[in-house]
Structure 1
Amino acid sequence: MIPVSTFSGKTVALFGLGGSGLSTAKALAAGGARVYVWDDSEPACEKAREAGFTPYDLHEADWSLFHALILTPGAPLTHPAPHWTVAKAREAGVEVIGDIELFLRERARLCPRAPLVAITGTNGKSTTTSLIAHILREAGADVQMGGNIGVPILDLESPSEARIHVVECSTFQIDLAPSLNPSVGVLLNLTPDHLDRHGSMENYAAIKQRLVEASEFAVVGRDDVYCEAIFQYLKRLGHAVVGISNTQPQALGAVRYEAGMLRRAFALPSMKTLDEPLFDLSRAPALRGAHNGQNAAAAFSACERLGVTHDEIGAGLKSYPGLAHRMEQVARHGKVLFVNDSKATNADAAEKALLSFNDIYWIIGGKAKAGGIAPLRPLFPKVRKAYLIGAAADEFAKTIEGAVAYEQCGTLDAATAAAARDAAASDAAEPVVLLSPACASYDQFKNFELRGDAFREAVRGLENPAPQDETDQGGVDAVPPHADEAATSAVAQSEGGAES
């Protein structure tokens, strides 16, 4: 824990008693603050009581007593309307901040030069955050990873010049952290997301921009119009910034993903261009697909800035085990690869997995989202057979009828056994049994994590499942040791997950 001594002797209000809220309350109390905690949920208040706090209804509070309101990122700061605690705080002239800001103030007090890598973007934040942390650890660094990835930032060890904090930041957290000034700031991409909380795409992009604009060194994706505009703006300011790209082969200095390789082009004094190969991502089994190419390019650029050698970065990319439930390679049974992509709760998410593999034996179904799987029709030729489970089974059968062979399996256990049977009998060099449901889990499981865990258990139950590294295929163990799996399993507090 990081005791928040910057509020020692002061009185603060704290709203929101989920995991990060309780962590923040404990850190403030440990630092000597008087903390008035509250949540509109009685079960959350009960958890606070169990942790030794007495909830105080902030509706009845004298707000002139408070030096700050510490607000959960789940409560709206501006849109569609400020949370009621925000309105009361502003009326009383009380600042509104979050746990990331408390960390930053402790960093400023204890060690202003303590290395901090902050990662944001619409998609890929968690993978990039865990990948950067993994590369740094493998290179021998003392690394603390947290924030939006599941471990509250104040549960980490204190900042020091010998320790690197790698922190995933949602837009909501950035909005509550006015002092955010990372050593390396990473902005991956921007697409419309949670606009009900931001008011407009322009507001959303402006909040993301704050993270990289305030950084000492920025890494910015260049493959969407909003990030490209931010990149060009930083260049005009003379800010230290490097681009990453999957689509701009002529972008000098940018680390780019192209045909499975990380590459970078340099302009030589002779006016010629040198195109330097950096790493062959086919050697990194947990980083398949163009979307992971962008994540790897960002991690490469950030770690290079922190002084990690190219050989060390390559070793870290190769050994990265991936995040649980996100194209997680759980085992290899003979030539058959088993992949847990339970986090794919809609068609857009499942598309990434379908693009990343061939000869797919696809387990799909659950509680369908709007649009179903019709948008995935162009990828149906990659699927050898589909195995339908859950409430969406009949609807999905109608969608794939005539395009993909399928089997109605009902349960995940039955689908896993059937897919394993057919994949083992196929003539493909590497048949893939892929759980990428394109559905919420609620019809059969409480959340996607439990669904993914059930898939792992079903794979374990197959006859003689061989660890992948016991074959000539190379790669992961039967159930791979995920970096910070305890943290990453908590990334999404609900089926929709944290902001992506």
Structure 2
Amino acid sequence: MIPVAGFAGRVVAVFGLGKSGLSTVRALQAGGAKVVAWDDGEAKRKEATEAGIALEDLSACDWSDIAALVLSPGVPLTHPEPHWSVKCAKAAGVEIIGDVELFDRTIRASSTGARIVAITGTNGKSTTTALIGHMVKRCGADAQVGGNIGTPVLELDPPKPNTVYVVEVSSYQIDLAPGFAPNVAILLNITPDHIDRHGSIEGYAAVKARIFANQTAADTAVIGVDDDYSSDICTVVSAARVQRVVPISVGKTLGRGIYVLDGQLYDSTGTQTQKAGDFRDLRTLAGAHNWQNAAAAYAAGRALGFPREKILASFESFPGLAHRMEIVAERDGVRYVNDSKATNADATSKALATYRDIYWILGGKSKEGGIETLTELFPRIRHAYLIGAASDEFARTLEGKVGYTRSQTLDRAVESAANDAEAAEGDLRVVLLSPACASFDQYPNFEVRGDVFRDLVLKHLSERASA
């Protein structure tokens, strides 16, 4: 835990008692603050009480004594309408912040020299965060990984001189961190998302851009330039001439920056362009989307002063993230890939574009648009296995284009796909769970669905080996 600095002896309100809210209360108390905490949900209040946290209804308290409102990132700050606690705080002139802001202030006040790498973007945040954390550890520093990826930032270990905090931040968290000033700030990409919380795609992009707002000349901004919104942000940040800016791209040659062409990494941040590495054989970072993640991680590593050789070696040993194109097993020319996190067609397109000779398991609770946008990738698919509620809809899209089997359940799909792939010829056949659907018709979440897939694959391979 990181005891929060700056609020000793003062009253701080905390609204929202989920995982990050509970850790915020404990960290504030450890720093000497008096905390008044509340949540609209009765279950959350009960959980907080059982954890020994005293509650006070913030709608009825005296806000004149409160120094700050720490708001859960899941609670509306501006859109579609400010939460009632936000209105109370604004009426009393109380600053509204989140746990990332508390974390940033505390780390900077520590004077330990600990550094912060922050990663945001619509897609790829978690993989890039995990990859950078792995790289930092392999390069010999104390890696503390948290934020939106899982562990709340205030639950990480206190700073030491060689600590590098690698923090995934969502747009919600950035919105609540007005003074956030990471040493290395990374924006991967921007595509339409969270419009309900930011009013428009322009509003969403503007919040993402704030990750660079407080950086100084000693800091580095790493910005993907393969979408228009991020490219525009890169132009604006570069024109300000404050921090060092490193553009990154996959597919475009950059006169200045870091880019990937056909899996080859090029570094043009110095006086001349150098071929820096080769991503084509990185099994856990396959595909152009992962090459963008790796390019961003490489840029962060260089900004942190790590040797190029150690950075690239760490990529080779990166185990990957569960449920995100996770390689479960590979045997006799068949690779089994768990991409259960792909809950929409756009996410699934990344996996389909990465492999050929695919035995594709898909389906679940369909989202708007179905899989119509994936048609151009259908030639990569040997056969499809339909599960869940979307089976009829997806069968109509596949009809006449891709052979398919109505498996209905995941166990039947895995067994059929594995048998078909093992009987086929080819250097590499891929049994791919990339559902392009939510899981809620058959599983409580994508994690459970991916765990079941993994267990089924390993059971199949074990039975095959003992036969």
Distance 1:286 1:401 in 2: 32
Distance 2:86 2:192 in 1: 25
Q: Number of residue pairs matched?
A: 461
Distance 2:161 2:180 in 1: 17
The offset of 1:74, in angstroms, is 0.5
Unpaired runs of at least 5, structure 2: none
Distance 2:230 2:297 in 1: 17
Q: Name the structure 1 match of 2:221.
A: 218
The offset of 1:10, in angstroms, is 1.0
Distance 1:187 1:333 in 2: 37
Q: Name the structure 1 match of 2:70.
A: 70
Q: Name the structure 2 match of 1:365.
A: 363
431-440 vs 220-229, greater mean Cα deviation: 220-229
The offset of 1:267, in angstroms, is 8.0
Q: Name the structure 1 match of 2:49.
A: 49
Q: Are 2:252 and 2:261, in contact at CA under 8 Å, matched by a contact in 1?
A: no
Q: Name the structure 2 match of 1:331.
A: 329
The letter for the 2-side match of 1:277 is K
Q: How does 1:90-109 map to 2 (within 5 A)?
A: 90-109=90-109
Q: Name the structure 2 match of 1:232.
A: 235
Do residues 127 (structure 1) and 120 (structure 2) align?
no
Distance 1:61 1:391 in 2: 48
Deviations 1:311-332 (A, max 9, x none): 1111111111111100000111
Q: Name the structure 1 match of 2:247.
A: 243
Q: Are 2:113 and 2:162, in contact at CA under 8 Å, matched by a contact in 1?
A: no
Q: Name the structure 2 match of 1:491.
A: none
Are residues 245 and 108 of structure 1, via their aligned partners in 2, closer, same or farther at CA, if it must alter by over 3 Å?
Answer: same
The letter for the 2-side match of 1:153 is V
Q: Name the structure 2 match of 1:456.
A: 454
Q: Are 1:359 and 1:382, in contact at CA under 8 Å, matched by a contact in 2?
A: yes
Distance 2:390 2:232 in 1: 41
Q: Are 1:331 and 1:465, in contact at CA under 8 Å, matched by a contact in 2?
A: no
Q: Name the structure 1 match of 2:113.
A: 113
Distance 1:260 1:105 in 2: 39
Are residues 441 and 378 of structure 1, via their aligned partners in 2, closer, same or farther at CA, if it must alter by over 3 Å?
Answer: same
The offset of 1:168, in angstroms, is 0.7
158-167 vs 147-156, greater mean Cα deviation: 158-167
User: Under a length normalisation based on structure 2, what TM-score does the superposition of the two structures give?
Assistant: 0.96
Do residues 305 (structure 1) and 303 (structure 2) align?
yes
Q: How does 1:254-333 map to 2 (within 5 A)?
A: 254-265=257-268, 275-333=273-331
Say what the alpha-carbon RMSD is for the aligned residues: 1.6
The offset of 1:277, in angstroms, is 1.7
SS at match of 1:462: helix
SS at match of 1:461: helix
Q: Are 1:333 and 1:466, in contact at CA under 8 Å, matched by a contact in 2?
A: no
Deviations 1:28-86 (A, max 9, x none): 11222111111111111111011101322211111112111110001111112111100
Q: 1:396 aligns with which of 387, 394, 398?
A: 394
Q: How does 1:468-483 map to 2 (within 5 A)?
A: none
The offset of 1:464, in angstroms, is 3.1
Q: Name the structure 2 match of 1:208.
A: 208
Deviations 1:197-236 (A, max 9, x none): 1122222222222212323111111112222222222222
Q: Name the structure 2 match of 1:409.
A: 407
Q: Are 2:5 and 2:105, in contact at CA under 8 Å, matched by a contact in 1?
A: no
445-454 vs 180-189, greater mean Cα deviation: 180-189
Distance 1:95 1:238 in 2: 30
61-70 vs 104-113, greater mean Cα deviation: 104-113
Deviations 1:444-469 (A, max 9, x none): 100000000000110110133899xx
Are residues 466 and 70 of structure 1, via their aligned partners in 2, closer, same or farther at CA, if it must alter by over 3 Å?
Answer: farther
Are residues 140 and 267 of structure 1, via their aligned partners in 2, closer, same or farther at CA, if it must alter by over 3 Å?
Answer: closer
The letter for the 1-side match of 2:266 is R
The letter for the 2-side match of 1:160 is K
User: Under a length normalisation based on structure 1, what TM-score does the superposition of the two structures give?
Assistant: 0.90
Q: Are 1:333 and 1:465, in contact at CA under 8 Å, matched by a contact in 2?
A: no
